Amino acid sequence: MGRLVVTEFVTLDGVMEDPGGAEKSPYGGWAFQFERGEAGDRFKHEELMAADALLLGRRTYEGFAAAWPDRNDDDFGKRMNSIPKYVASRTLTEPAWANTTVLSGNLVDDATRLRDEVGEILIEGSHRLVCELHAHGLVDEYRLMVFPIIAGGGKRLFDESGTPARLRLVETRQAADTVLLRYRPA
């Protein structure tokens, strides 16, 4: 059996919206104001190399698909482009990014099936997707890179949908200006 792993950049107040600023959100662009250093880069590299697939919401997928296909200069870029990608969408019909499969059925059923068949699946960004998986108790691990900034608004990792969950801290490390946290359901 595999695992569904949510991996996110978040602010101290839990905002995950537009960390790189590509979406031009009023709350975006905060991630590049800080250093994550070699330890942060290594953390992101190791998690991608260990993953068997990516599961993304349509908006995150479209952002990644616009940014990554031409980045094959290093192992990370090559892996982003070669790893199997699944995108949950009822509107996307012809994905252009290599190795992409569109999931347009029942998200809970599709995610459960993928976890059982594929192995470790990383979920990046994808706010609505993460909230839905969390609400159904399907997330096996949360990996958070916490940046030392308070955004003051924007989409938060855990919205006000009212789905409580008890988590257990399994790892913490500092990576330059950021803190890396790993949690699993208690």
Reduced to 3 states, what is the DSSP secondary structure of residue 139? Answer: coil
The answer to whether residue 68 scores a pLDDT higher than 90 is no
CA distance 47 to 158: 22
CA distance 16 to 9: 6
Residues of the domain holding 40:
3-185
Please give the pLDDT value at position 163. 80
The answer to whether residue 159 scores a pLDDT higher than 80 is no
CATH code, 66: 3.40.430.10
Tell me, yes or no, if the pTM score tops 0.75. yes
Q: In the chain, what percentage of residues exceed pLDDT 70?
A: 99
CA distance 61 to 71: 15
Count the domains in the chain: 1
Residues facing 8 on adjacent strands: 144
Q: What is the mean pLDDT of the chain?
A: 92
Q: Lay out the sheet containing 167-175: strands in order across.
A: 100-103, 85-88, 53-57, 120-124, 3-11, 141-147, 178-185, 167-175
Choice between 72 and 129, residue whose per-residue pLDDT is larger: 129
Please give the pLDDT value at position 21. 80
Please give the pLDDT value at position 76. 93
| Tens digits of residue pLDDT in 1-53 | 799 999 999 999 999 988 888 888 888 889 988 999 999 999 999 999 999 99
CA distance 12 to 146: 6
* Maximum separation of any 2 CA atoms in the chain, in Å: 43
